[in-house]
Amino acid sequence: MKLRVPRFLRRPALVPSGFRAQAALAAVFVVIAGGSGGNLVLRELGKLPDGAVFRAGDTVVTENQLQHRVTLMRFLYGVQQPTDPAGLDQFKRSVAKAVAVSDIVDDAARGAGIVVADKAASDQLDKLVSDNGTDRRTFIQQLGANGVSEQDVLGEIKRQQAGARLFQQMTAPVKATTDADAQKYYDENRAQMVSPEQRELSNIVVSAPDQAQLVAQQARSGADFGALATQYSIDGSTKGKGGALGTVTASQLDPGYAKAAFAAPAGSVFGPVQTQSGWNVGRVVVIHPGSPLSFDQVKDAIKTKLDNDAKLKVWDDFLVTKIKAAHVEYAPAYLPADPDAPPAAGA
């Protein structure tokens, strides 16, 4: 079961997300997993013990401990482990690095005197439980059914809160962007200062490709699209509205569906396109072209972006120093492409 966790736990919101280029900033220091936790294996000089993922200082994180972190992340965040060999290999290396960096951040937070009280973590857990429309007892039962414990979740919350406080502490000296700085950025990037194209779309979802082909053929032959949606669509949220999706931007859609929807002319039918929801046949109702944005319209977003850029630079420089000082040793199967680099935002 994947819980509908609050934004605090879905992505540690260290600083505002701001401009489009900063959409992934929330992942600056926690990529997939939390700290290693659990029982740690004492360092054995000269080589990594069997079953080890990495060693940092005098501690070793094992494959079992790493898999437990993955189980926790699957329950909290819906993180899914790929099944294809190439994807699984990259996943293992990314998770190993995420855990190593999270441990490093955790150690740095303790070194900076940051302590998250038990009550603060417990209060956050209560909010998580409440946001998911359940009670704590049921939540704990769900945890057990998924192979994790209440203490695992509380530990993850503490790591998140400690990391967020450390980020704020390290980036506090960063000076806020001025209006003049924002104006300069606007002038230098005026071509990008446009609102994205929007399209009003209708959509029909069916479960099989042959049925989607049949629906698309009928729609292109002049059949009423709304009536087809009412008859065929399995999407309960749009079926009763004639398939109306409303007005959307490409970034709000599944990439494959967006590519087809934003390539089609107004009034045309596109698809079938397969998404996680099923097989989709869409229709472009109205196209709203992008338009230039004035400085006043984007000033606040630009200032947020530039503030975030400056904070992220300070944070990344800090992380690189800490990562290099930790001398993390990875087992070959878990060695990241660039072990000393900070995790990429949104990676």
The three-class DSSP label of residue 213 is helix
Per-residue pLDDT, 154: 94
Class of 196-288 per CATH?
alpha beta
* pTM of model > 0.75: no
Q: Per-domain residue ranges for the chain?
A: 7-179+303-334, 196-288
Per-residue pLDDT, 344: 66
Per-residue pLDDT, 33: 31
Per-residue pLDDT, 17: 29
Per-residue pLDDT, 347: 44
Give Cα separations from 179 to 290, 309, 346 (angstroms).
25, 16, 28
Distance of CA 147 to the CA centre of its chain: 23
Q: Mean pLDDT, 10 residues at a time, over the chain (347 residues)?
A: 30 29 29 34 57 90 93 82 89 93 94 95 90 85 89 93 96 97 96 93 96 97 96 93 95 95 97 93 96 95 96 96 95 93 64
Tokens representing 256 are 């494959």
What would be the CATH architecture of the domain defined by 7-179+303-334? Answer: Orthogonal Bundle (1.10)
- Phi (first) and psi of residue 98, to 5 degrees: -60, -45
Per-residue pLDDT, 74: 84
Cis ω before 336 (30° cut-off from 0)? no
